[in-house]
Structure 1
C-alpha cells in the first residue's frame, strides 16, 4: 500500500513515461540476479516511493536518487502544464545546497540518460567554466577509488541494455548543453524566482507579469500573517512563484503556513502539487 500511495502521489495525473518504464524493467531483471540499476547508471530508482525533501519542488516527479547527500532527480511538470512526462525537463535536486538546490540538467529523460552515461558529476557539482569541468573529468582517472575492471564491465553491460532499449541522442558538449538549458529557462521566465526555476510564460503571453508579488527575503525572513493576507487575493502565477520561493527554506514547525500553502495550491486547481508539498514537509 505504501508503494501504491507513493506512486500515486508522485505522478499525480501523469502516466509513467516510456523511458522510465524501460529503466524499471531493466532494474527488475538486474535485481533478480543480485544487481541493481545503480551499478551502471549511478542512481537508484525511487519513482514508486514518496521520496522528497523540503526543497524538492512540488511540481517535480522524483524518479531517482544517487544515495548520497539526498541528491535526487526528477521530472519538472511546470505546475502540471507539461503535456506528458516524456517531454518534461529533468532537474537535479541537491538538498544540502541551500542557496540553489535545484538545477535543470536535461531537456528530457532520454537526454538525461545520454549525459549520465558519460558523467553524472556534471549534475550536482559546480563548475565555473567548461575548462574547469574538463579538468574535473581529467582528474577522475587518478582517483584512488576508481571502479575495478570487473565493475566497469558490469556497468557497461547495464548501460548497453539501456542503449538497446532506448534511442539516446549524442550530446557532444555536455557543459554547454546544461548552461544553455538554464539560459533558455531564464529567457522564458514570466516571473523570475531566486534559484532559477522561475514561473514560465504561458503560451501567447508576451507582456511581463503585472500582478502583485510577495517577495521573500533571501535570508528567509518573512511574516506568516503577511503571506496569509497576500494569498487571499493572489493570482495563480503569483501563488506559484511564492511557493517556489518558500520551498527554498525549511518550514519546520510552521504548521499553519504549511496548511495555508497546501490550500492555496488546491484553490487554484493544483491538487497534485498540494499533495507533493504536503509530503515534502512531513
Structure 2
C-alpha cells in the first residue's frame, strides 16, 4: 500500500479500512499494467495535503486531479468508531458551498464511483441533486482516445465491481436522501453545512462572528468567553467547525492568533487527532 507517513499520521487513532487497502492494491495492479484510476478522475491519496477549508476531522481518500477537489472520511470529531461507518465528504475549495456530503459510508461511496463516468461528476452534479437527470453528460473516454484506454477504463469499473462489490445506483436520488438524513440527524447547524451529530436535546446556540473576521485581542477574549460558557460539547464542536470555515489556516505558516487559540480549545477537548492534522503534520510542497 502506497501511503507516506503524513497520511498514516492523518489516520491517527483509526485503523486504515480494508477497502482502502484493497483500493491501493488494485491501483498498483493497474499501474503495473500501464494505466491508473486517473482515467476515472479518482486518484488515491498517498499523502496528507489539506486545503484551508478541509475540515480537521476529515481523512482523505482520493482526489479528482483538478481544482483541489478531494474526498475523505468525516469522523465527526472522533465520534465515528470505525471509518467503515464514516460519512464521505467532497471538498471543493473553489466552489460554493465548498463542502459537500456525498455518501453515508465508503461502501456506498464506491457504488457512486462506478455509477458516474468520472468521479468529478459527484461534485458537478451535487448542486442539482433535487433533479431527476444529471445536468451534464460526460464522455467516458475522449472520442479520439486509443482503444487501449477505452478497454482500461472499462476494466477499472469492472474490477471495482468484482473485487469491492461496488454496484450501480441512481446518483441524484441517493445524494438527496443522504443530505436529508444528515440534516435530520444534525443537532446543530454549522457554517460549512455539515452540522454536528450528537445529543438531540442540545439547543441551537451559535457564536456570532464579527464582520471581516478580526483577530485582535478583543475578539480572542470574546471567543474564549464563548467557548468556556458553551453549554454542551456539541456547541463547542460547532464553534470549532465554524472557526475553521471562517478563517484561513495555511499549514506552511505559523498559526495565526485565532488558530493558536483554536488549538488550545481542541486540546482541552482531547481532539488530538484533529490537532495533529491541523498543526503537526507538515505537508510537502
**TM-score normalized with structure 1 length:** 0.84
Whole-angstrom CA distance in 2 between matches of 1:25 and 1:49: 16
Whole-angstrom CA distance in 2 between matches of 1:30 and 1:12: 29
Instruction: Give the conservation status (yes or no) of the 8 Å contact 2:69–2:92.
Output: yes
1:74-100 C-alpha deviation (Å, 9 max, x unpaired): 011111111211111111000112x42
Q: Which residue of structure 2 lines up, in the alignment, with residue 168 of structure 1?
A: 166
Whole-angstrom CA distance in 1 between matches of 2:256 and 2:242: 17
1:17-36, aligned counterparts within 5 Å?
Answer: 17-36=17-36
Q: Which residue of structure 2 lines up, in the alignment, with residue 230 of structure 1?
A: 226
Q: 1:178 to 1:276 in 2, by over 3 A?
A: same
1:1-282, aligned counterparts within 5 Å?
Answer: 4-39=4-39, 41-46=40-45, 48-97=46-95, 99-119=96-116, 120-125=119-124, 126-127=127-128, 129-131=130-132, 133-137=133-137, 140-141=138-139, 147-171=145-169, 173-202=170-199, 206-207=200-201, 209-210=202-203, 213-216=206-209, 220=213, 223-234=219-230, 235-249=232-246, 250-251=248-249, 255-278=256-279
Q: CA deviation at 1:233?
A: 4.0
Q: 1:148 to 1:129 in 2, by over 3 A?
A: farther
Whole-angstrom CA distance in 1 between matches of 2:91 and 2:55: 9
1:117-150 C-alpha deviation (Å, 9 max, x unpaired): 232344212327424x43413xx35997675543
Whole-angstrom CA distance in 1 between matches of 2:180 and 2:41: 27
Whole-angstrom CA distance in 1 between matches of 2:261 and 2:185: 29
Stretches of structure 1 that go unaligned for 5 or more consecutive residues are none
Stretches of structure 2 that go unaligned for 5 or more consecutive residues are none
Q: CA deviation at 1:270?
A: 1.1
The alignment's C-alpha RMSD in Å is 2.7
1:11-32 C-alpha deviation (Å, 9 max, x unpaired): 1111111211110101122223
Once the two structures are overlaid, the 10-residue window that deviates more, 251-260 or 175-184, is 251-260
**TM-score normalized with structure 2 length:** 0.83
Whole-angstrom CA distance in 1 between matches of 2:8 and 2:276: 10
